Chain A
Amino acid sequence: KQEVTQIPAALSVPEGENLVLNCSFTDSAIYNLQWFRQDPGKGLTSLLLIQSSQREQTSGRLNASLDKSSGRSTLYIAASQPGDSATYLCAVINTGGFKTIFGAGTRLFVKA
Chain B
Amino acid sequence: DVKVTQSSRYLVKRTGEKVFLECVQDMDHENMFWYRQDPGLGLRLIYFSYDVKMKEKGDIPEGYSVSREKKERFSLILESASTNQTSMYLCASRITARGNFRIKNNEQFFGPGTRLTVL
Q: Which residues of A contact B (CB under 8 A)?
A: 31-32, 34, 36, 41-46, 49, 51-53, 89, 91, 93, 98-100, 102-105
Contacts and interface: CB of A to CB of B under 8 A. Distances in A.
Interface of B: 4, 6, 33, 42-43, 45, 48, 58, 88, 90, 92, 97, 100, 103-113, 115
A41 B104 contact: no
A53 B108 contact: no
A104 to B, nearest CB: 5
User: Which label, helix, strand, loop or mixed, suits the secondary structure of the A interface?
Assistant: strand
Contact of A41 (B33, B105, B113): B113
17 contacts: A31-B100, A32-B106, A34-B107, A41-B88, A41-B113, A42-B113, A43-B110, A43-B112, A44-B90, A44-B110, A46-B107, A51-B105, A53-B104, A89-B43, A93-B103, A99-B58, A105-B42
Contact of B43 (A31, A46, A52, A102): A102
A92 to B, nearest CB: 11
B58 to A, nearest CB: 7
B42 A43 contact: no
Nearest to B104: A51
A49 B106 CA distance: 8
Contacts of A98: 48, 97
Contacts of B103: 31-32, 93
A49 B107 contact: yes
Given A34-B108, A43-B113, A46-B107, 11 more contacts: A31-B103, A34-B107, A42-B113, A43-B110, A44-B90, A46-B110, A49-B105, A51-B105, A53-B104, A100-B33, A100-B45
Nearest to B102: A31
Contact of B109 (A31, A46, A103): A46
Nearest to A32: B104
A102 B42 contact: yes
A58 to B, nearest CB: 15
A53 B105 CA distance: 11
